[in-house]
């Protein structure tokens, strides 16, 4: 063994190169769909379905905001005569719509659906983290009767695909009046995520020596105060990593959202495909909706990437 | 600062008995060191005193008040843990201020600043106050941990091998430092360690713990010169005391029950056998060890080995026959208990 037990064997230059090539190749494959979404969102509807595909902006096609206009507005088709008789357009999306013999009649539901997604995903993440941290702390520190069995039960709730219980949940929500409510969706996603949160967070809290809390309690703090002042600050990395996992699940969830929401609480994932139905196959609008939908997770993850990386490698790399 | 009494403490963990009927009174301003090997129950005893664990039997009294049922916060004690002594997410300043800011004390910030700076001066870490606790060396960390235990002037400060993670040089420096600080503050300390040097140099009284029992309690000198049994005799002194069979010394006047004779290295008189007839058995020099600060001579008497100290320029060499004389021998019976001469 080397003198330093934590050190990992330094990879050779060849191995590093091979690893870089692999990562880049994988990134290319993984990023192509994202690139395609981005390109489609700035194409006109005919360009988006042209064959052979148009790839390079300004060379193969002229970028346009039509997809975004169609995403955010609802339009109705009118005769050219009617449009000619209207007052001059206000520019922007109005102009784009008129060039297709349409007039803008109002805002689409994209923004409210997006807001629903934000509220439901962040709400359920916050709730999962609060419940998960409390439960994980209790499991980590206290003598809980049947602790192992309870932990296994919590894990077992993740052992089947959540959608397997879709019909009971649907019936239950109808009875409880939780169908198509934000609260209902927050509770549902929380119930799925909280098991993951308990398990991940218990691992993180187990790693925090209990001597810190004991020291605080000797110094005159109650256990709850010691938890706030000593445990929580040291658990942030784990909490952030767990929050990102919870958020990604809740943000992307599609099946329950289709089943349980249709209006007031509908999230973006079931809404985006609906756009296709409205007046032809509007792929640029779908792509625009998807591209914007990807942004919050991207921002959240990039902002917290340091925590995330440390969090993911936490249990694996022992001191 | 005040008097702390442990009375008849017992603690079991399943089948193991970690603490077995320990009673001990620590007077105001006293520095009591408990000495014992790993697993002797040192940490457990401190945790019972602090209220982090509850004894199965026995009581803890602070200033005459029975605090056995009180939570740690209500006991006015501080604790320096063997590991994890500082909060890693706080600065040195905030670590020192942490006990003063507790809801029980609510010291005004100006007052905290004064106290923390005083303590930092005492500990000679004034220039490190703004550092993150994790950005200190091991020695500085322990220094801060000791400081934190003393800032709020507890009834008693409990210290669990605070120096054991440091290297020998730092340990020696901090040992002297700790004694100075304790004396300057007049602090009452219960300190546990497996290091006999710490026990001998720091303590006003030393207690020797063995498998959860307090086998002897006394001043370092009493413990060293008059150990209660062969175990205690073996815990103190370096190289350790020589334990030899009674039968090797047929001419020695010893109490009847004596089975083993204990003699400390500095009490062995070794002379070349050819220098003239002397009382005592004859042995063979088997090895001379030059350690720099000390030189050990290993002598085999029949099948038993002894170690003593010699001058660096000793004329003795391996294979020489030597006579063995004893000064101030200690007598132990077959079970290891001391037999008074
Ligand atoms: N929480 C515990 N659970 C079970 N056994 C314990 C626990 N704490 C200590 N012990 C046992 O009690 C004995 C004394 O331990 P400890 O007080 O830690 O000794 P020391 O600090 O002197 O090394 C040991 O045999 C140890 O295994
Ligand atoms: Mg210990």
CATH of the domain at B263: 2.40.50.140
A277: pLDDT confidence band, cut at 50, 70 and 90? low
Residues B134 and B28 in one domain: yes
Is residue A46 over pLDDT 80? yes
Mean pLDDT of B133-159: 87
B122: pLDDT confidence band, cut at 50, 70 and 90? confident
Give the CA distances from residue A269 to residues A35, A178, A251, A256, A294, in Å, rounded to whole numbers and listed in that order: 19, 19, 8, 10, 11
A317: pLDDT confidence band, cut at 50, 70 and 90? very low
Please say whether the beta carbons of B23 and B175 come within 8 A. no
**Ligand index nearest the alpha carbon of residue B36:** 1
Nearest CA to ligand 1 atom 26: B39
Percentage of chain A lying above the pLDDT 90 cut: 61
> CA-to-CA distance for B153 and B188, rounded, in angstroms?
9
Residues B170 and B253 in one domain: no
Q: Is residue A196 part of a domain?
A: yes
Of A264-278, B28-42, B182-196, minimum mean pLDDT range: A264-278
- For A211, the closest of B84, B98, B152 (CB atoms) is B84
The reported pLDDT for the residue numbered A319 is 36
> CA-to-CA distance for B210 and B192, rounded, in angstroms?
13
Interface mutation vs chain A, best among B13, B47, B52, B155, most A CBs within 10 Å: B52
Residues B304 and B173 in one domain: no
Range of the domain at A185: 111-274
Q: Is residue A243 part of a domain?
A: yes
CATH of the domain at B202: 3.40.50.300
Cβ–ligand 1 contact at B38 (below 6 Å): yes
The reported pLDDT for the residue numbered A197 is 95
A278: pLDDT confidence band, cut at 50, 70 and 90? low
Percentage of chain B lying above the pLDDT 90 cut: 52
Residues B173 and B206 in one domain: yes
What's the structural domain count of chain A?
1
Residues B175 and B267 in one domain: no
A311: pLDDT confidence band, cut at 50, 70 and 90? low
Is residue A38 over pLDDT 90? yes
Q: pTM for the whole thing?
A: 0.82
Is residue B99 over pLDDT 60? yes
Burial class (CB in 10 A: 0-12, 13-18, 19+), B309: middle
CATH of the domain at A208: 1.10.3720.10
A182: pLDDT confidence band, cut at 50, 70 and 90? very high
**Domain boundary, last residue among B235, B264, B295:** B235
The reported pLDDT for the residue numbered A313 is 58
* B84: region left, alpha or beta (phi > 0 left; psi from -120 to 50 alpha): left
Is residue A6 over pLDDT 60? no
Residues B169 and B311 in one domain: no
Is residue A246 over pLDDT 90? yes
The reported pLDDT for the residue numbered A77 is 86
The reported pLDDT for the residue numbered A109 is 92
The reported pLDDT for the residue numbered B277 is 66
Helices (H), A163-282: 166-176, 182-206, 211-218, 223-226, 232-252, 255-260, 268-277
Interface mutation vs chain A, best among B72, B77, B96, B190, most A CBs within 10 Å: B72
Is residue B268 over pLDDT 90? no
**Domain boundary, last residue among B235, B251, B277:** B235
A43: pLDDT confidence band, cut at 50, 70 and 90? very high
Mean pLDDT of B302-322: 87
The reported pLDDT for the residue numbered B54 is 94
Residues B46 and B188 in one domain: yes
Give the CA distances from residue B271 to residues A62, B51, B275, B282, B321, in Å, rounded to whole numbers and listed in that order: 107, 56, 7, 10, 9
Residues B198 and B263 in one domain: no
Range of the domain at B298: 242-339
How far, in Å, is the centroid of ligand 2 from the Cα of A192? 42
For residue B321, give both structure tokens: 């026959």
Is residue A98 over pLDDT 60? yes
**Is B81's CB within 8 Å of A220's CB?**
no
Tell which atom from ligand 1 comes closest to the C-alpha of B37.
Answer: 22
The reported pLDDT for the residue numbered A27 is 93
Q: Is residue A85 part of a domain?
A: no
B278: pLDDT confidence band, cut at 50, 70 and 90? low
Of residues A316 and B238, the one with the higher pLDDT is B238
**Domain boundary, last residue among B235, B254, B274:** B235
Please say whether the beta carbons of A214 and B72 come within 8 A. yes
In whole numbers, what is the pLDDT of chain A averaged over residues? 88
Q: Does A212 touch chain B (CB under 8 A)?
A: yes
How far, in Å, is the centroid of ligand 1 from the Cα of B193? 14
> CA-to-CA distance for B111 and A22, rounded, in angstroms?
60
The reported pLDDT for the residue numbered A102 is 86
Residues B211 and B69 in one domain: yes
Non-local (6+) Cβ contacts of A179 within 8 A are A170, A173, A260, A261
Please say whether the beta carbons of A287 and A40 come within 8 A. yes
The reported pLDDT for the residue numbered A216 is 92
Q: Residue with structure tokens 């409210």? A: A112
In the sheet with B321-326, reading across from the earlier edge strand, the strands are: B268-272, B321-326, B282-290, B295-301, B304-309
The reported pLDDT for the residue numbered A5 is 44
A40: pLDDT confidence band, cut at 50, 70 and 90? very high
> CA-to-CA distance for A185 and A257, rounded, in angstroms?
8
Best-predicted range by mean pLDDT (A183-197, B137-151, B228-242): A183-197
Q: Residue with structure tokens 């539901």? A: A109
Non-local (6+) Cβ contacts of A140 within 8 A are A202, A205, A206
Give the CA distances from residue B281 to residues B241, B269, B306, B318, in Å, rounded to whole numbers and listed in that order: 18, 11, 12, 18
In the sheet with B330-332, reading across from the earlier edge strand, the strands are: B242-245, B260-263, B330-332, B338-339
Give the CA distances from residue B273 to residues B64, B261, B279, B280, B320, in Å, rounded to whole numbers and listed in that order: 62, 21, 10, 10, 8
Is residue B259 over pLDDT 60? yes
Residues B217 and B255 in one domain: no
How far, in Å, is the centroid of ligand 1 from the Cα of A290? 59
The reported pLDDT for the residue numbered B138 is 83
Cβ–ligand 1 contact at B16 (below 6 Å): yes
A316: pLDDT confidence band, cut at 50, 70 and 90? very low
**Is B103's CB within 8 Å of A218's CB?**
no
For residue A258, give both structure tokens: 């289709």
How far, in Å, is the centroid of ligand 1 from the Cα of B152? 29
Q: Is residue A144 part of a domain?
A: yes
Q: Is residue A193 part of a domain?
A: yes
What's the structural domain count of chain B?
2
Mean pLDDT of B3-20: 94
Is residue B38 over pLDDT 50? yes
Q: What is the ipTM of this complex?
A: 0.82
Residues B182 and B321 in one domain: no
In whole numbers, what is the pLDDT of chain B averaged over residues? 90
- For A219, the closest of B51, B83, B98 (CB atoms) is B98
Please say whether the beta carbons of B188 and B149 come within 8 A. no
> CA-to-CA distance for B262 and A84, rounded, in angstroms?
119
């Amino acid at each position: 063994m080397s003198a330093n037990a934590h050190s990992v064997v330094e990879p050779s230059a060849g191995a590093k190169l091979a690893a870089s090539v692999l990562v880049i190749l994988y990134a290319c494959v993984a990023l192509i769909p994202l690139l395609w979404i981005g390109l489609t969102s700035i194409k006109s509807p005919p360009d988006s379905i042209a064959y052979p595909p148009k790839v390079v902006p300004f060379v193969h096609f002229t970028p346009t905001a039509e997809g975004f206009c169609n995403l955010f507005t609802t339009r109705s088709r009118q005769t050219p005569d009617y449009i000619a008789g209207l007052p001059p357009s206000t520019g922007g999306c109005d102009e784009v719509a008129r060039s297709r013999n349409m007039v803008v009649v109002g805002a689409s539901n994209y923004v409210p659906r997006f807001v629903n997604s934000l509220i439901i995903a962040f709400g359920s993440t916050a709730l999962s983290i609060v419940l998960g941290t409390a439960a994980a702390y209790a499991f980590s520190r206290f003598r809980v009767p049947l602790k192992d069995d309870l932990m296994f039960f919590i894990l077992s709730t993740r052992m089947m695909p959540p959608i397997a219980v879709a019909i009971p949940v649907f019936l239950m929500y109808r009875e409880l009046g939780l169908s198509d409510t934000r609260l209902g969706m927050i509770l549902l996603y929380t119930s799925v995520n909280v098991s993951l949160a308990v398990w991940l967070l218990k691992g993180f809290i187990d790693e925090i020596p209990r001597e810190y809390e004991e020291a605080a309690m000797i110094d005159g703090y109650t256990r709850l105060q010691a938890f706030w002042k000593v445990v929580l600050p040291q658990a942030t990395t784990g909490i952030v990593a767990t929050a990102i996992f919870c958020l990604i699940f809740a943000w992307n969830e599609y099946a329950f959202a289709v089943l349980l929401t249709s209006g007031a609480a509908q999230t973006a994932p079931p809404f985006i495909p609906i756009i296709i139905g409205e007046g032809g196959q509007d792929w640029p609008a779908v792509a625009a909706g998807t591209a914007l939908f990807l942004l919050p997770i991207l921002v959240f993850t990039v902002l917290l990437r340091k925590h995330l990386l440390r969090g993911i490698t936490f249990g694996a790399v022992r001191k | 600062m005040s008097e702390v009494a442990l009375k008849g403490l017992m603690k079991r963990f399943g089948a193991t008995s970690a603490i077995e009927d320990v009673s001990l009174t620590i007077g105001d301003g006293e520095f009591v060191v408990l000495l014992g090997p790993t697993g002797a129950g040192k940490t457990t005893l401190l945790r019972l005193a602090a209220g982090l664990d509850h004894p199965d039997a026995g009581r803890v009294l602070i200033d005459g008040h029975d605090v056995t049922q009180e939570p740690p916060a209500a006991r006015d004690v501080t604790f320096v843990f063997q590991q994890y002594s500082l909060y890693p997410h706080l600065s040195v300043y905030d670590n020192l201020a942490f006990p003063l800011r507790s809801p029980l004390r609510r010291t005004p910030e100006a007052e905290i600043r004064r106290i923390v700076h005083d303590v930092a001066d005492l500990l000679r870490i004034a220039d490190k106050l703004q550092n993150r606790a994790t950005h200190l060396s091991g020695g500085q960390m322990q220094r801060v941990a000791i400081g934190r235990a003393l800032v709020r002037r507890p009834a008693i400060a409990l210290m669990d091998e605070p120096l054991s993670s440091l290297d020998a040089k730092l340990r020696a420096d901090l040992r002297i430092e700790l004694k100075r600080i304790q004396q300057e503050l007049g602090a009452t300390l219960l300190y546990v360690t497996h290091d006999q040097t710490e026990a001998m140099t720091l303590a006003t009284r030393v207690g020797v713990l063995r498998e959860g029992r307090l086998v002897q309690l006394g001043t370092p000198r009493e413990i060293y010169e008059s150990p209660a049994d062969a175990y205690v005799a073996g815990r103190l002194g370096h190289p350790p005391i020589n334990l030899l069979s009674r039968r090797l010394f047929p001419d020695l006047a010893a109490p009847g029950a004596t089975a083993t004779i204990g003699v400390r290295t500095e009490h062995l008189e070794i002379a070349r056998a050819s220098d003239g007839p002397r009382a005592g058995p004859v042995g063979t020099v088997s090895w001379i060890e030059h350690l720099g600060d000390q030189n050990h001579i290993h002598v085999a008497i029949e099948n038993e080995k002894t170690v003593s100290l010699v001058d660096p320029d000793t004329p003795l060499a391996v294979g020489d026959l030597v006579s063995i004389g004893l000064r101030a021998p200690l007598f132990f019976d077959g079970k290891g208990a001391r037999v008074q001469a």
